[in-house]
Amino acid sequence: MLEKVIKRVVVDDHIIDTGYAFAVIDPVWSTINIYEGPDIYEQTQKAFSSGQIQLTAIHWHISEVCNGGHYQFYSNSTGIVWPEALDGYRTIGLPEVADILQEAADRYGGNLSRDRDTREAQIDAQDYDLEDLDKRFYAVYENDQIEQAMMKYIRSHRSEFYFDGEVERFE
């Protein structure tokens, strides 16, 4: 059975130099709460830099789209992070992925709510197929362009990603 534990996590130059973006954003991923609505989401991200938040949102986007497409990303709790993912792709120099994300949002009415129930109603009212956008995303993802762009950004903004603190985990 999984048990909640508190672990000390350090993100320093050694972790950054591993070249694995998830290792850098792991404490953010473990801390930010996307499940309990916009207020909790905003409260749990206060301790982190915009770069940490944006790259974590990108990781949520990647995880969901690779598992079930943009529909899954927007309709699940992860849809709350779509504005940060959008900004993140622009920040790391991947405007073509930002355009894919924005086009998906536009098909659902544009400014999707952070509230999951409201966002689901917005999505259900439009009933669009996003398979063409999923395919465009996969073409970029499969070439490892996103991970490379994330690591390039992290390495050139190291201090924005340093972390030394405790996070809750299930083990």
**What is the identity of the amino acid at 87?**
D
Specify the long-range contacts of residues 66-74, CB closer than 8 Å, at least 24 apart.
Answer: 66/138, 66/141, 69/130, 69/131, 69/134, 70/100, 70/101, 70/104, 70/130, 70/133, 70/134, 70/137, 71/123, 71/130, 73/104, 74/104, 74/105, 74/108, 74/112, 74/119, 74/123
**pTM, full prediction:** 0.92
User: How far apart (Å, rounded) are the C-alpha atoms in residues 85 and 37?
Assistant: 17
The DSSP secondary-structure symbol of 164 reads E
Number of domains in the chain: 1
Report the CATH number at residue 31.
1.20.1420.60
Range(s) of the domain holding residue 41: 4-170
pLDDT per residue of the chain (171 residues) written in tens, 0 to 9: 667 788 899 999 999 999 899 999 999 998 999 999 999 999 999 989 999 999 999 999 999 999 999 999 999 999 999 999 999 999 999 999 999 999 999 998 888 989 899 998 888 888 778 999 999 999 999 988 999 999 999 999 999 999 999 988 767
**Lookup: tokens for 124:** 């259900």
